């Protein structure tokens, strides 16, 4: 790998190094932003959106139930009706109750109206259903009357009870049971009155509610029974879990995060007083983070595309930046091949490479001067050698011999000096070459 990298040109090295850096920066930036926005989105949902949606749905439920609750309260606290019942016969009581229920039904449309009376001589249940008044005595042995005795025993002001009876048939109704403010000596309310509502509208409101595509809401009793919800809800599967128990005691809109069958969910709940039940919402995390992840991939694709475009534009720029270096390299190579010390390096760059070229030119000039001196010394040495040859064997001309020997010694000394200078110049040339190499690396 190192050898392959060393064989690459400076431009290619710059291109790959810059490209790798840009890819890493782009990917890390997109991932960081996606993680940041995902965390912010989940926090916003947990702190604001889910509680707000639950409160909004709870308000809609209250608005649907409040008229029925107030009607039941008025009926249960009708002391005039109780007073007249205590002074009437059985037949007169039927007429009184029927007239009262018909009057109430004119102002409030309901499937059924009912009232349970506690009189000294008779405790009786009346129900007006589909235009017909029916009655029966209240008996502990009758399963249809169990609701009455349980409600009286509970001491609650009112309750909402899903039930059927013989008067309403098999249709499941939501009975709003309301007790009167006045009671007998043993604590039994004088009247228990109320309205029986068709659960269809309320059930549809809850089961059809959506938060996103897969966020469901379910209706759960205080004891944990699921009375209304979506078939795809996970509540039935997690009823024995700790999170489910937490949902039934969630006074602070706490968010519970659980994993079920490989999917992560966020759950919360709110207690609806008028309904006396919990509204439980469940939302898959993927439903919430999916759009963010999709945007992340789009941003990553766009970022990489722009990065590739930037790299394509960067390559010519990188080549233009290294062009002076390649020009110096080319001219030095030409001088090396031709051994023409009279040539000089010419570039337009005035920065570091321009200064380097100027120093190399000075080096070439000194080298040329040194070589010229060597050539002149060599010529003088040759001339001295010829004169020695001409005077060889003439021992009587001693003065000429001594002069020639002195000339030769001087030439040899000058040649030694020139060689030393060449050695020094070559060392400078080597240092300059090293500087060029270092500068080449700095360009990268």
In a domain, 326, yes or no: no
Residues 96, 172 share a domain: yes
In this predicted structure, the answer to whether residue 410 has a pLDDT above a threshold of 70 is: no
Residues 305, 414 share a domain: no
What stretches of 45-155 show up as alpha helix (H) in DSSP? 50-76, 79-86, 90-107, 146-154
Number of domains in the chain: 2
In a domain, 333, yes or no: no
Residues 316, 345 share a domain: no
Q: How far apart are CA 33 and CA 423, in angstroms?
A: 63
Give 250-287 pLDDT, tens digit per residue. 877 788 888 988 888 889 998 888 778 888 988 888 87
**DSSP calls for 384-399:** HHHHHHHTTT-TT-HH
Instruction: Examine the fold and report which residue of 320, 349, 367 is the final residue of a domain before the chain moves on.
Output: 320
Q: Which residue has the higher pLDDT, 104 or 297?
A: 104
In a domain, 7, yes or no: yes
Mean pLDDT of the 54-71 span? 85
In a domain, 103, yes or no: yes
What's the whole-model pTM score? 0.54
Give me the chain's average pLDDT, please.
Answer: 79
Residues 289, 397 share a domain: no
Mean pLDDT of the 58-66 span? 83
Residues 192, 274 share a domain: yes
Residues 197, 113 share a domain: yes
What stretches of 77-208 show up as alpha helix (H) in DSSP? 79-86, 90-107, 146-154, 200-207
Give 295-304 pLDDT, tens digit per residue. 777 877 887 8
> What is the structure's pLDDT at 300?
78
> What is the structure's pLDDT at 136?
92
Residue 418: which domain range? 339-443
Give 160-207 pLDDT, tens digit per residue. 888 888 887 777 788 899 999 998 888 899 999 999 888 777 777 777
In this predicted structure, the answer to whether residue 393 has a pLDDT above a threshold of 60 is: no
Q: Which residue has the higher pLDDT, 70 or 63?
A: 70
Task: For residue 66, give both structure tokens.
Answer: 């409040």
> What is the structure's pLDDT at 320?
75
Residues 311, 348 share a domain: no
Question: For residue 194, which phi and psi values (nearest 5 degrees)?
Answer: 180, -175
Residues 240 and 251 sit within 8 Å (Cβ to Cβ)? no
């Amino acid at each position: 790998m190192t050898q392959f990298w060393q064989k690459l040109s400076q431009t290619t090295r710059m291109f790959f190094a810059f490209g790798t850096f840009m890819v890493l920066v782009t990917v890390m930036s997109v991932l960081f932003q996606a993680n940041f926005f995902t965390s912010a989105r989940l926090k916003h949902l947990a702190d604001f959106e889910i509680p707000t949606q639950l409160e909004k749905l709870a308000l809609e439920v209250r608005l649907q139930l409040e008229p029925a609750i107030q009607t039941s309260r008025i009926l249960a606290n009708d002391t005039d009706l109780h007073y007249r019942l205590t002074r009437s016969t059985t037949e007169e009581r039927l007429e009184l109750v029927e007239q009262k229920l018909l009057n109430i039904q004119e102002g409030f449309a309901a499937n059924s109206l009912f009232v349970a009376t506690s009189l000294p001589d008779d405790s009786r249940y009346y129900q007006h259903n589909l235009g017909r008044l029916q009655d029966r005595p209240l008996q502990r042995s009758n399963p249809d009357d169990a609701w009455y005795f349980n409600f009286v025993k509970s001491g609650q002001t009112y309750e909402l009870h899903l039930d059927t009876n013989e008067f309403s048939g098999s249709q499941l109704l939501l009975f709003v049971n309301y007790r009167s403010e006045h009671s007998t000596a043993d604590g039994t309310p004088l009247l228990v009155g109320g309205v029986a509502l068709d659960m269809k509208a309320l059930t549809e409101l809850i089961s059809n509610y959506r938060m996103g595509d897969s966020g469901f809401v379910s209706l759960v009793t205080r004891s944990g029974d699921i009375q209304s919800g979506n078939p795809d809800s996970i509540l039935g599967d997690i009823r024995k879990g700790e999170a489910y128990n937490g949902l039934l005691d969630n006074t602070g809109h706490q968010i519970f995060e659980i994993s079920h069958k490989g999917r992560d969910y966020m759950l919360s709940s709110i207690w609806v007083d008028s309904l006396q039940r919990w509204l439980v919402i469940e939302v898959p995390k993927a439903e919430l983070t999916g759009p963010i992840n999709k945007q992340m991939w789009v941003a990553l694709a766009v970022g990489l595309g722009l990065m590739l475009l930037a790299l394509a534009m960067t390559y010519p720029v990188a080549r233009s930046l290294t062009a002076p270096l390649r020009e110096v390299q080319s001219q030095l190579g030409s001088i090396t091949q031709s051994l023409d010390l009279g040539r000089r390096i010419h570039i337009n760059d005035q920065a570091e490479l321009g200064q380097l070229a100027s120093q190399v030119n000075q080096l070439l000039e000194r080298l040329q001067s040194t070589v010229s001196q060597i050539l002149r010394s060599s010529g003088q040495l040759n001339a001295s050698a010829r004169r020695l040859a001409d005077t060889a064997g003439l021992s009587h001309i001693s003065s000429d011999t001594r002069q020639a020997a002195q000339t030769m010694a001087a030439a040899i000394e000058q040649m030694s000096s020139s060689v030393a200078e060449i050695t020094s110049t070559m060392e400078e040339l080597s240092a300059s070459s090293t500087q060029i190499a270092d500068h080449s690396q700095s360009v990268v």
